[in-house]
């Protein structure tokens, strides 16, 4: 059976190649910092399961120290006249789009087709990891297509990836790190503490107050955690289940659905969310630019959600 | 209650603009230690969480392809492709993408979009291309505004589309969490109640994109 580890091995190979390319990049004054940072990520992808929890934890701390204390730099962008393959490629016109579109196309086909594929009675692809494996396959197909079309030097894809990763910098591991933070917060009982705090701070005897505390609490706690999935169990156990469903007899399907959607409004407004961190880095935007554009929509939809909750959950 | 110190560290650290990777790691360690957990156990929990979440970073696999095609002039191609379409405006282009993203996510196809696979190579340069064909090369402020809007439609479309799909993470999580509190719900009903919000989100954001066109026209005409 093909598991997610196949995709992880591929990612590990890519980050190892980026680490080597960084070490060789004399235009970057901090090239050894970059090499160590991407190299450790390669280790995590290639050998993470063998490292054990403590080994992985120390690896995270090392990454935080390298990335957080300014040991990362960026090489100079390739300047001057374009290489001959680039001049050739500029004549390809619209065909350049084809490899890009191969990624979503393969992901789509894989997501639909993989669950049906069987080999000797066993599923060929791990049913829980279909998307990750389909994405990796799509990337491989797209890369072969692009190499065949452009005929660049063999190291060109790695150099191109290094250039982009240097631009993203240490923020590259932030989404993964925030997921780990959620796990530690859960272990430390942060959720219960926040639930208690909201329970004491808000007079929840009135239905509208409980609705507001639940919806706004979801948005706020999501902003702190960077992830609505981490906030939802806390707010449901603290207010949603005992008060909205229990005392006021609300419809749990409505309360669950709209509670999560209130959380998403919080995601749109927080610097803690991967969804806002990645585009800020990839599009070379100043901090907060994406959030500023999203916030007005998020606030209006959040208020609408509160009204919908009050109107739809208690139809009798 | 002491574990909230970890939250405080994260919030203060981010507001003070320290490096987020360092802030989050310190916040995790502080939360665990303040709650009285053994330091080694805290580091273990951090490591397990990081290792289990590797699937999040697999999306970077697409960067060699994107980077290669960008060196070959992909973004210029994306701009040129839309420059010929006279009826297109930045707002209309992004509204079209928003609708596509919401619909495809409602069908469970989250990976048809994305910041690395669609927004950076295609949507953002197309939006900039439309603006340039109307008003010539833009200043930095206009570029930032248009790119941020391109990123925003991808997020908003995904968030207010995916909850409509029954077999996707969020609906299943809602069902599982409710079940833990001994409340049974049908996933289909959870998904159904996400539709009003999806429609409202589309209308609100599409209206803002019409407004964006007006702002861009005003700025463009003033130059």
pLDDT of residue A78: 58
pLDDT by residue (tens digit) across A163-187? 889 888 888 898 889 888 888 888 8
Please check whether residue B59 lies inside any domain of the structure.
no
A183/B51 Cβ within 8 A: no
Closest CB to B3 among A143, A190, A301: A190
Of the listed ranges A111-115, A196-200, A239-243, the least confidently predicted one is: A196-200
Mean pLDDT within B163-178? 80
In this structure, the answer to whether residues B122 and B29 fall within a common structural domain is no
Measured in degrees and rounded to the nearest 5, phi and psi for residue A23 equal -60, -30
Q: What is the mean pLDDT of residues B165-174?
A: 77
Query: Who has greater pLDDT, B135 or A42?
Result: A42
Query: Are the Cβ atoms of B62 and A252 closer than 8 angstroms?
Result: no
Q: Chain B: nearest CA to A122, how far in angstroms?
A: 22
> B31–A54: do the CB atoms touch at under 8 Å?
no
Res. A49: pLDDT tops 90: yes
Number of domains in chain B: 2
The arithmetic mean of pLDDT across residues A113-121, rounded, is 83
- How high is the pLDDT of residue A77? 61
Please check whether residue B57 lies inside any domain of the structure. no
pLDDT at A83 over 90: no
Q: Are residues B111 and B197 in the same domain?
A: yes
Between B63 and A234, the more confident residue is B63
The position carrying tokens 């990081």 is: B50
* Confidence category of residue A226, pLDDT binned at 50, 70, 90: confident
pLDDT tops 90 at residue A107:
no
Provide the chain A residues 17-36 that lie in CB contact (below 8 A) with chain B. Answer: none
Helix axes B20-34, B39-52, angle to 10 degrees: 130
Direct distance between the N- and C-terminal alpha carbons of chain B, in angstroms, rounded to an integer: 56
**Segment 173-202 of chain A within 8 Å of chain B by CB:** 173-185, 187-190, 193-194, 196-197
Same domain, B201 and B103: yes
| Residue B31 lies in domain | 4-52
Rg (alpha carbons) of chain B, rounded to whole number: 22
Interface contact A305-B197, CB threshold 8 A: yes
User: Percent of chain B beyond pLDDT 90?
Assistant: 48
Question: Residue B187 pLDDT more than 90?
Answer: no
Tell me the pLDDT band of B222, cut-offs 50, 70 and 90: low
B47 — pLDDT class (breaks 50, 70, 90): very high
The beta-carbon neighbor of B197 closest among A82, A252, A258 is: A258
Question: Do B92 and B68 share a structural domain?
Answer: yes
When mean pLDDT is compared across A11-15, A202-206, A258-262, B216-220, the lowest value belongs to A202-206
Name the nearest CA neighbour of B204 among B157, B151, B167. Answer: B157
Q: Which residues of B touch A189 (CB under 8 A)?
A: 3, 35
pLDDT of the residue at A8: 95
Which residue in chain A has the smallest CA separation from B143?
Answer: A285
Please tell me the distance from the alpha carbon of residue B8 to that of residue B84, in angstroms, as a whole number. 52
Torsion sign, CA atoms B34, B36, B37, B39: positive
Which residues of B are less than 8 Å from A107 in CB distance? Answer: 111-112
Say if B91 falls within a structural domain: yes
Average pLDDT, chain B: 89
CB contact under 8 A, A100 and B65: yes
Instruction: Provide the pLDDT confidence category of residue B168 given band limits of 50, 70 and 90.
Output: low
From chain A, the residues in CB contact with B94 under 8 A are none
Q: What is the pLDDT of residue B32?
A: 93
- Inside any domain, residue B103: yes
Q: Judge whether A124 is closer than 8 Å to chain B, CB to CB.
A: no
Q: Which of A29-38, A190-199, B102-111 has the highest mean pLDDT?
A: A29-38
SS3 content of chain B, % helix, strand, coil (to 5): 80, 0, 20
Q: Who has greater pLDDT, A35 or B132?
A: A35
Verdict on whether the full-model pTM lies above 0.80: yes
Task: Say yes or no: B10 and B120 in one domain.
Answer: no
In a domain, B138, yes or no: yes
Which of A270-279, B24-33, B64-73 has the highest average model confidence (pLDDT)?
A: B24-33
Task: Clarify whether residues B108 and B181 are in a common domain.
Answer: yes
**First CA to last CA across chain A, in angstroms?**
50
Chain A nearest C-alpha distance from B184 (Å): 8
CB proximity list for B182: less than 8 A, separation 6 or greater: none
* pLDDT value at residue A82: 63
**Cα angle, residue A238 at apex, residues A237 and A243 outer, rounded to 5°:** 95
CA distance A206 to chain B (A): 22
Q: Select from A64, A172, A236 the Cβ nearest to the Cβ of B22.
A: A64
Band (pLDDT 50/70/90 cuts) for residue A79 is: very low
Q: What is the pLDDT of residue B92?
A: 95
SS3 A124: coil
What does the pLDDT read at residue A201? 74
Residue A242 has pLDDT above 80, yes or no: yes
Residue in the block written with tokens 């060196």: B71
Q: Is the pLDDT of residue A81 over 60?
A: no
Predicted local confidence at residue A57, as pLDDT: 96
Burial of residue A116 (CB within 10 Å: 0-12, 13-18, 19+) is exposed
Interface pTM, i.e. ipTM: 0.88
Quick one: average pLDDT of B47-67? 90
Q: What is the mean pLDDT of residues A242-254?
A: 91
| Average pLDDT, integer, range B141-164 | 94
Mean pLDDT of B19-37: 92
DSSP symbol at A77: P
| A235 half-sphere exposure, CB direction, 13 A CA radius | 30
Cβ contact (<8 Å) for A229 and B194? no
Q: What average pLDDT score do residues A263-291 get? A: 92
Domain check: are B130 and B215 in the same one?
Answer: yes
pLDDT of residue A59: 97
Give A145's contacts (C-beta < 8 A, 6+ positions apart).
Answer: A98, A99, A102
The closest of B209, B187, B204, B203 to A260, measured between CA atoms, is B187
Nearest CA in chain B to A197: B1
Residue B147 has pLDDT above 80, yes or no: yes
**Is there a single domain that holds both residue B44 and residue B76?**
no
């Amino acid at each position: 059976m093909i598991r997610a580890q196949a995709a992880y091995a591929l990612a590990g190979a890519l980050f190892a190649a980026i680490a080597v390319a960084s070490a060789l990049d004399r235009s970057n004054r901090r090239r050894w910092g970059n090499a160590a940072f991407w190299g450790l990520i390669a280790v995590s992808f290639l050998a993470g399961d063998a490292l054990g929890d403590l080994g992985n934890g120390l690896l995270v701390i090392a990454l935080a120290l390298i990335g957080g204390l300014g040991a990362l730099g960026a090489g100079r962008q390739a300047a001057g006249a374009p290489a001959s393959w680039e001049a050739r490629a500029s004549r390809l016109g619209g065909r350049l789009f084809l490899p890009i579109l191969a990624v979503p196309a393969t992901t789509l086909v894989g997501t639909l087709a993989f669950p049906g594929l069987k080999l000797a009675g066993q599923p060929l692809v791990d049913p829980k990891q279909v998307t990750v494996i389909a994405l990796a396959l799509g990337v491989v197909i797209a890369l072969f297509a692009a190499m065949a079309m452009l005929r660049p030097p063999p190291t060109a894809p790695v150099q191109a990836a290094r250039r982009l990763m240097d631009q993203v910098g240490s923020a590259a591991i932030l989404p993964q790190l925030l997921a780990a933070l959620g796990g530690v917060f859960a272990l430390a009982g942060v959720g219960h503490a926040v639930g208690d705090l909201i329970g004491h701070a808000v007079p929840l005897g009135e239905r509208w107050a409980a609705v507001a505390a639940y919806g706004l609490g979801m948005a706020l706690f999501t902003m702190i955690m960077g992830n609505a999935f981490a906030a939802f169990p806390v707010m449901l156990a603290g207010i949603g289940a005992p008060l909205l469903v229990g005392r006021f007899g609300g419809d749990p399907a409505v309360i669950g659905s709209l509670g999560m959607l209130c959380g998403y409004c919080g995601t749109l407004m927080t610097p803690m969310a991967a969804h806002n961190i990645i585009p800020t880095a990839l599009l070379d935007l100043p901090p907060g630019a994406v959030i500023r554009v999203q916030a007005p929509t998020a606030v209006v939809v959040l208020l609408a959600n509160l009204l919908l909750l009050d109107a739809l959950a208690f139809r009798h | 209650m002491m574990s909230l110190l970890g939250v405080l560290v994260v919030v203060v650290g981010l507001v003070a603009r320290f490096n987020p990777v360092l802030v989050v790691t310190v916040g995790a360690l502080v939360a665990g230690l303040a709650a009285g957990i053994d330091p080694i156990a805290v580091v273990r929990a951090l490591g397990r969480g990081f290792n289990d979440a590797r699937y999040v970073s697999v999306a970077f696999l697409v960067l060699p392809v994107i980077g290669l095609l960008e060196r070959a002039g992909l973004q210029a191609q994306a701009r040129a492709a839309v420059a010929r379409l006279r009826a297109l405006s930045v707002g209309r282009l992004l509204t079209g993408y928003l609708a596509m993203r919401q619909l495809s996510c409602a069908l469970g196809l989250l990976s048809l979009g994305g910041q690395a696979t669609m927004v950076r190579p295609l949507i953002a340069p197309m939006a900039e291309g439309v603006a340039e064909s109307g008003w010539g090369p833009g200043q930095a402020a206009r570029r930032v505004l248009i790119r941020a809007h391109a990123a925003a439609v991808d997020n908003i479309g995904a968030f207010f589309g995916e909850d409509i799909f029954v077999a996707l993470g969020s609906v299943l999580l809602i069902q599982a969490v409710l079940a833990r509190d001994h409340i049974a719900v049908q996933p289909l009903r959870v998904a159904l109640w996400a539709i009003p919000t999806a429609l409202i989100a589309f209308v609100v954001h599409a209206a803002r994109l019409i407004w964006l066109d007006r702002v861009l026209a005003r700025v463009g005409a003033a130059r």
